[in-house]
Structure 1
Amino acid sequence: MIAVTTFALLTFLQNDPLPRRGALGLASSPLTKEQTTKLKLAEGTGLAVVDVIPGLTAEKANLQKGDVIAKINGKPVAAKSLGEMARNLPSNKTVAFEVRRGDQTIVLKADMVEKPKDPGTDLYDVTYSHVLSNGKRMRTIITSPKKPGKYPAFFFIQGFSPISYDFNLSTATGDVKTIDGPLLHQFASEGFVTFRVEKPGVGDSEGGPFADLDYTTELDIYRQTLKQIKEHGGVDQKNIFIFGHSMGGAFGPMIAAESQVKGIITYGTASRTWFEYILDTVRYQGLLAGNTFENADDEMRLTERLLALVFLERKTVAQVKKSHPQLAQLADAFFPGGYFNQKTLEFWRQLNDTNFPKYWVKANCRVLAVRGVSDYVTYDADHKLIADAVNAAHPGWGKFDLCPDSDHLFHNWPTEKASMQGWTKGKFSMNFGNMMLKWIRATISER
């Protein structure tokens, strides 16, 4: 009886459309301590409205720049909780903003406006679909050429950050809010069926919270999306390509090892053990930021011990601080709230347990591994390792290359130091997109 009930529930979820979430439509910034005191708000609460986006909920409620939002639906608002609060506000239901405007406290109301969908262009249509992963519905967004037919597939897997890729591709500039957007628009416009999936707890996707997800749980959303690609009537099944950006380059070969694709492209990823990679990163980024070689060496001796205890020996942060009090201050700096890079420690432990060269070989497909010359986040060694591992098993199938004037975000900085100093403020470069498209076209032509 339980099995039947579970099957019926999963069937319902698979077939039932995933609801569209609403959009507050505002940009905000946290209040200073002085501002919260003056307004008699609890410390850490209250948000100043920096901008109001036309056509969305905030504008409908008549919020204005300079307003301070104290509460939403009677609950205090804070910068760290606004995103999750907004996710749980149903579309077309009334939202009440308690606002401080000058010396007045007012309540502004409006129905939650549904987030606008990508309208597509004269070259491609956009479909909002979903896949089922671990009993939760994950939003997939698919672009298809206007002309009916079967086209090669381009499956984009993003990095580890909880960034939503539910935006208008044709207006994406490649800034921090639309990372990779110009690449997706390029392939959608060049006759590919493109696929992307929102992470659990991000955008319309169910599940989460994102910070508490482990690596194997997230891996399954990409596995299920690849299954959707294999069942899509508009896809040329002989020409499916996966592009993994950053952490996406770790997920890509693992799902390809289970289900054959024509090729994988990765940019700015790691392929050694993650522990090797993170030690290099701590040392190198410190030096690039101005640390001395002597200090870097001393600091690394403490850092490697701390990270080994947490990631290799799987000690909790509390256990490490108790057994190694000399590491307590460093542990608090590396693991605020018991997380690393805003992700549960188990995510990184599972990542470190993974033998990536094994999956790159097992994927049994053509591979292009690229690093941007100004990408200070990743290293040539990892991308060369990918190509070398593939070529050892399948001679000529792996290629390593460097992309000029391109950092980890594809911004057009000429050097790693320039990228670090101007991080997120560069102009998006299409150098890698053009390189990738050329390689895919050549790979498709191979028989």
Structure 2
Amino acid sequence: EADTEQSQVGGYIVVGGWVKTWFEHMLEIERRRFALMGKSPGEVNDRMKLAATHYHDWLIKNKAIDVILRDKAELAELWPEGKDHAHLYGRPLAFYLQLQKLNLAAAWARVKVPALILHGQFDWIMTREDHELIAQYVNANRPGGAFCRSSRDGTHLSALPEFHRRLSWRGSSVRSQSCEAVVDWLNEHRDT
């Protein structure tokens, strides 16, 4: 972003974000996915060796999934989409290659405005560490400007639908932690 664009931004609210390379992110997801599948610690490590090869070939070397799985048949069992080699988690593979090209650490290291970074305690897709790194990078430019909060009622991106649902009940005294954190943060930074 140019300085003029940055000057138009008053702050950021982040829910379910990340800062590492997409390659690193996918390896972290795979480790958690294998554990959630009930694999033993040893099986998880064995699978991670294969997953590292798979994601390196795809995201770093830009090889097509079809080619990777054809050349290394032992990786086919790891591919979460089975025979669909054009999508991952419902999105086209090109989307993930675009994410790999991003340098979010550099982008967050340039932020000079307040930021509220929310992480759902039960989010197994995005790590708390990524959210803490975002806060660390912003705070390097604006000490105390970023606040990282883990909500007990959150999963991956669950704070957003919950936030909208809670807003429709404006008269209700029941609000989620995520919603309360956002409202409080917006009130605190209203004039900045």
TM-score by length of 1: 0.37
Describe the SS at the equivalent of 2:57: helix
Q: Matches of 2:177 and 2:3 in 1, distance apart?
A: 26
Residues 128-167 of structure 1 mapped to structure 2, 5 A cutoff: none
Residue 317 of structure 1, aligned match among 54, 65, 83: 65
Q: Matches of 1:257 and 1:395 in 2, distance apart?
A: 22
Residue 266 of structure 1, aligned match among 14, 22, 39: 14
Residue 296 of structure 1, aligned match among 25, 28, 44: 44
Residues 276-291 of structure 1 mapped to structure 2, 5 A cutoff: 276-291=24-39
State whether structure 2 residue 189 is matched by structure 1 residue 430.
no
User: Given the superposition, is the C-alpha separation of residues 330 and 281 from structure 1 closer, same or farther in structure 2, using an over 3 Å criterion?
Assistant: closer
Matching residue of 2:103: 355
Q: Matches of 2:24 and 2:82 in 1, distance apart?
A: 17
Q: Matches of 1:271 and 1:390 in 2, distance apart?
A: 12
Aligned-pair distance for 1:256? 9.7
Matching residue of 1:386: 134
Residues 45-444 of structure 1 mapped to structure 2, 5 A cutoff: 258-259=5-6, 260-331=8-79, 333=81, 336-408=84-156, 409-410=158-159, 430-444=176-190
Q: Matches of 2:120 and 2:76 in 1, distance apart?
A: 36
Give CA deviations for 1:319-368 in whole Å, capped at 9, x if unaligned.
21333233244447467142222222221111111111221233431111
Read off the aligned partner of 1:378 and give its amino acid letter. M
Give CA deviations for 1:295-340 in whole Å, capped at 9, x if unaligned.
1111111111111111111101222133323324444746714222
CA RMSD of aligned residues (A): 2.6
Q: Matches of 1:372 and 1:279 in 2, distance apart?
A: 20
User: Given the superposition, is the C-alpha separation of residues 284 and 429 from structure 1 closer, same or farther in structure 2, using an over 3 Å criterion?
Assistant: farther
Q: Matches of 1:324 and 1:407 in 2, distance apart?
A: 34
Describe the SS at the equivalent of 1:369: strand
Which has the greater radius of gyration? 1
Contact 2:115/2:145 (8 A) holds in 1: yes
Q: Matches of 1:398 and 1:335 in 2, distance apart?
A: 43
Which runs of 5 or more structure 1 residues have no equivalent in the other structure?
1-253, 412-427
Q: Matches of 1:257 and 1:264 in 2, distance apart?
A: 16
Give CA deviations for 1:17-37 in whole Å, capped at 9, x if unaligned.
xxxxxxxxxxxxxxxxxxxxx
Aligned-pair distance for 1:258? 3.7
Describe the SS at the equivalent of 1:336: coil
Q: Larger strand proportion, structure 1 or 2?
A: 1
Give CA deviations for 1:205-239 in whole Å, capped at 9, x if unaligned.
xxxxxxxxxxxxxxxxxxxxxxxxxxxxxxxxxxx
Matching residue of 1:28: none
Matching residue of 1:230: none
Describe the SS at the equivalent of 2:13: strand
Describe the SS at the equivalent of 1:286: helix
Contact 1:371/1:380 (8 A) holds in 2: yes
User: Given the superposition, is the C-alpha separation of residues 329 and 401 from structure 1 closer, same or farther in structure 2, using an over 3 Å criterion?
Assistant: closer
Describe the SS at the equivalent of 1:290: coil
Q: Matches of 1:289 and 1:328 in 2, distance apart?
A: 16
Give CA deviations for 1:158-205 in whole Å, capped at 9, x if unaligned.
xxxxxxxxxxxxxxxxxxxxxxxxxxxxxxxxxxxxxxxxxxxxxxxx
Describe the SS at the equivalent of 2:150: strand
Read off the aligned partner of 2:134 and give its amino acid letter. I
Which runs of 5 or more structure 2 residues have no equivalent in the other structure?
161-173
User: Given the superposition, is the C-alpha separation of residues 298 and 403 from structure 1 closer, same or farther in structure 2, using an over 3 Å criterion?
Assistant: same
Contact 1:410/1:429 (8 A) holds in 2: no
Identity %: 24
Q: Larger helix proportion, structure 1 or 2?
A: 2
Matching residue of 1:50: none
Contact 1:311/1:345 (8 A) holds in 2: no
Read off the aligned partner of 2:42 and give its amino acid letter. E
Contact 1:257/1:364 (8 A) holds in 2: no
Q: Matches of 2:34 and 2:73 in 1, distance apart?
A: 24
Read off the aligned partner of 2:12 and give its amino acid letter. I
Contact 1:321/1:327 (8 A) holds in 2: yes
Give CA deviations for 1:28-67 in whole Å, capped at 9, x if unaligned.
xxxxxxxxxxxxxxxxxxxxxxxxxxxxxxxxxxxxxxxx
